[in-house]
Homo-oligomer: A and B are copies of this chain.
């Protein structure tokens, strides 16, 4: 086999386009939102749906594996004697849909139109999971076998920081022997240029809760004499970053690598257009940490964002109260050797120090993951690069990702396996936002990329 798509697979994929798309839309219609407990049944339904597909396609040992949270779907096919074994990871849970009023169509009524698959999960990550199902199906149908050994690990808690996965990996260590892990939960570079992701930022996700009084107070009777939790929360948040975009938590930058000139040059050489990136968001002028380019800010510098804030009266009109309490979700993206477990107590101490007297503050740890650097010279990474070039017609660029995939760090650190981040979403996918979509060509060509990669790994090994 060479690094080109087997024509028999191309014929099979072309012949099944309609049923493949119907299956994708059926999968996307399941509102598998992991963050909201009322969707636990939908999560379970999505897991069962995948398990049925895996069994039907030809995988063995299919299992909807219980965890303290949402289930992990496991399956394997280990009959490619002499070929390498690869763990394939995707996730079937999706982000919540709010603000629902900004969706142009119903998030769980997906459709394919004008070259796009539109709907929650189309890009992140159910669409990519579905590509792996269809690539394996094509191989099973055409050959009755896979060219490599695969272990499927499809998770349902990625959007809530994969809380159950470490325990599951530990408990299942015995059946997770492999040569590498391929994770498809990343995307292409700006301009929809094929890419392999070399670095991922880590994550520290917190909730700050400021409490004043047991009940709301009349702002006339008590305003000016009792501290206001919402004003206090604003003061705390404002103190977290200075006007140059530097996080003010002492020790925050201790484990952040300084970029050398060569690294800066490599980033500067990428075909990145800050104006196109800005225009894609509809944002005003780009901002961020002073002294760094946009790509440096995204991939090599940590940052801090309020993901949500609330307290007091949010209705129509006016209500003259001092809110009893106020809250914010605050998350940090981490780089280099920053460790969420090391940073959390520093963050808590700083928040407590910034809290004005008269109110109380507490900080919850909602999740975390270390930054990841993948081995881009590993044979599987190199094979993936060749497969992308063979199918998309241009060599991939090696990029960083601003986002976090805690599971990458878990596979790397817990199982000691090389992790390859081969993802297919387009940069304007609106992941985590209203009107999420995936470019249909990325989905279709990506299925072929996966087939080429498995063939390449199987053939290389056999020789």
Contact = CB atoms under 8 A, between A and B. Distances in A.
Contacts of A45: none
A350 to B, nearest CB: 15
Copies of the chain in the assembly: 2
Given A234-B309, A307-B318, A308-B313, A281 B220 contact: no
Most buried by B among A212, A313, A360: A313
B223 A160 contact: no
Given A333-B224, A431-B218, A308 B297 contact: no
B329 A319 contact: yes
A289 interface: yes
Contacts of A245: 224
A328 B306 CA distance: 15
Interface of A: 34-37, 95-96, 98-99, 102, 159-161, 201, 203, 205, 212-228, 230-231, 233-241, 243, 245, 277-278, 281-289, 294, 297-298, 301-324, 326-329, 331, 333, 356-360, 366-367, 401-404, 427, 430-435
Contact of A281 (B222, B327, B331, B366): B222
Contact of A329 (B214, B226, B312): B312
B308 A433 contact: no
Given A35-B318, A224-B245, 8 more contacts: A214-B282, A224-B297, A230-B305, A230-B328, A287-B356, A309-B310, A313-B329, A320-B331
A284 B357 contact: yes
Nearest to A227: B287
A173 B317 CA distance: 28
A13 B252 CA distance: 70
Contact of A303 (B35, B224, B243, B401): B224
